[in-house]
Amino acid sequence: MAVERNKRLLQDLLLNAENQTCADCGAPDCDWASYTLGVFICLNCSGIHRNISQVSKVKSVRLDAWEDDEVKFMASNGNSAAKAKYESKLPAFYYRPTLLDCQVLREQWIRAKYERKEFICIEKQEPYSAGYREGFLWKRGRDNGQFLSRKFILSEREGVLKYFNKHDAKDPKGVLRLEQINATFQPTKIGNPNGLQITYLKDNSTRNIFIYHEDGKEIVDWFNSIRAARFHYLQVAFPGASDADLVPKLTRNYGKEGYMEKTGPKQTEGFKKRWFTLDDRRLMYFKDPLDAFARGEVFIGSKENSYSVLDGLPPATQGNHWQYGITIVTPDRKFLFACETENERRIWMEAFQKVIDRAMLPQEYAVEAHFKHKP
């Protein structure tokens, strides 16, 4: 009787709006709970909680037997109370992962919250909030593809992230300005669970750098250091802007990536398989996903400016091996692509349409004006 009563009480707690999404990643279906922290969580996050058993002990809400005092503890806490406690001093710039993010981001977020208590004690945030960070990261060579240890320095005061090819070198091999940097986790593409892709503009073209660190905390601290530095730069650049306006500009994930076939501007050449990345309004294509530079870039504006995406290819098109075509119409020309499956075409078209439906910002007109369509 007590077991059934406790199950009903837990089910009632799950009906509260605060407990209907995972306390850590926002996923629906919170079928698990930490009975030492008082939070309801999803299956994926419960696996991470099991790895910090010294602070979090988990049970299934539906399958496990619960003691009376455990249920009372859940009732007196819950996701809102835990957030107020464990995220009380969460910096605005710190990346809060979702259910779509990779394992290292979600694990380090959970460890930072409950194990290290970084968002209760501000002094524990120094590794990513101090405005300066240096250390060694494994960086993929641009030409040979080998990952080699390189010294990196992030300096908020100088407004740069720089790296050195030799550990004792005085002059950096690369200097990346903070206002042009983006960082996004790419474990599958890089082939390492802690793989991070950093991009920046060089002569109005996008340059990629691929890095990783063996330690998950280290690479996530680097990621949040970049976000912190960009946040403080943007606060100076846009003094009237709110945190809510600035945070989405700190880093961005790509709209879509994957292989498509493409043909050249005359549309008479054969189609070639290329790796495509949709980064905001830039559609870039590469011979290899880990190339440092794109072979070409296409600017995708808004429907108000005569940009559109069409299902299929013009009737006379030849040379495509893949049958599921997409045509992007710009004021200058049409770009023809082909996908391997109908599902891939649908996902790409949804991603393109999302960009085209969004009105262009004033600064994007300047990008469009300087943009060179590369064949």
Helix/strand/coil for 300: coil
Does 84 score more than 90 pLDDT? yes
Percent of the chain with pLDDT over 90: 81
Does 182 score more than 50 pLDDT? yes
pLDDT at 161: 97
pLDDT band at 264 (very low <50, low <70, confident <90, very high): confident
- Kindly state the DSSP code that residue 202 receives in the 8-state scheme: E
pLDDT tens column, 35-57: 999 999 999 999 999 999 999 99
pLDDT tens column, 311-340: 999 998 888 999 999 999 999 899 999 999
Question: What are the phi and psi torsion angles at 278 (to 5°)?
Answer: -100, 105
pLDDT at 358: 96
Q: Is 170 exposed, middle or buried (0-12, 13-18, 19+ CB in 10 A)?
A: exposed
Best CATH choice for the domain 256-373 from the list 3.40.50.2300, 3.40.1390.10, 2.30.29.30, 3.90.320.10: 2.30.29.30
- Residue 43 vs residues 29, 75, 278: alpha-carbon distances, Å: 8, 20, 31
- Give dist(CA 41, CA 113) in Å, integer: 14
Q: Which whole number is the average pLDDT over 134-153?
A: 94
Q: Which whole number is the average pLDDT over 284-300?
A: 94
Percent of the chain with pLDDT over 70: 98
Q: What is the mean pLDDT of the chain?
A: 93
pLDDT at 373: 45
pLDDT tens column, 341-362: 999 999 999 999 999 999 998 8
Choose between 209 and 268: higher pLDDT.
209
- Residue 370 vs residues 49, 205, 344, 360, 366: alpha-carbon distances, Å: 49, 11, 31, 15, 6
Q: Which whole number is the average pLDDT over 81-103?
A: 97
Helix/strand/coil for 208: strand
* Highest-confidence segment of 5-9, 166-170, 254-258, 359-363: 254-258
Q: Which residues pair with 135 in a beta bridge?
A: 152
pLDDT at 143: 84
pLDDT at 169: 87
- Give dist(CA 294, CA 287) in Å, integer: 8
pLDDT band at 202 (very low <50, low <70, confident <90, very high): confident
pLDDT band at 291 (very low <50, low <70, confident <90, very high): very high
pLDDT at 365: 84
pLDDT at 50: 96
Same topology, domains 1-87 and 129-249? Answer is no
pLDDT at 374: 45
Considering only CA atoms, which of 136, 202, 197 is closest in space to residue 174? Answer: 202
pLDDT band at 15 (very low <50, low <70, confident <90, very high): confident
Token pair listed for 190: 């890089």
Does 204 score more than 80 pLDDT? no
pLDDT at 372: 47
Return all residues near 79 (Cβ < 8 A) that are at least 6 apart: 18, 19, 21, 23, 39, 40
Return all residues near 187 (Cβ < 8 A) that are at least 6 apart: 102, 103, 104, 193, 194, 195
Choose between 348 and 15: higher pLDDT.
348
Architecture of domain 1-87: Orthogonal Bundle (1.10)
pLDDT at 246: 96
> Do residues 97 and 25 lie in contact, with contact meaning Cβ atoms separated by under 8 Å?
yes
pLDDT at 225: 98
Domain assignments of the chain as residue spans, ordered by start: 1-87, 129-249, 256-373
> Do residues 134 and 231 lie in contact, with contact meaning Cβ atoms separated by under 8 Å?
no
Does 375 score more than 50 pLDDT? no
Q: Which residues pair with 152 in a beta bridge?
A: 135, 163
pLDDT at 162: 97
> Do residues 334 and 312 lie in contact, with contact meaning Cβ atoms separated by under 8 Å?
no
Helix/strand/coil for 345: helix
Q: Which whole number is the average pLDDT over 288-302?
A: 94
Q: Residue 2: how many CA atoms within 13 Å on its side-chain side?
A: 8
Task: Tell me the residue type at 108.
Answer: Q
The topology under which CATH files domain 129-249 is PH-domain like (2.30.29)
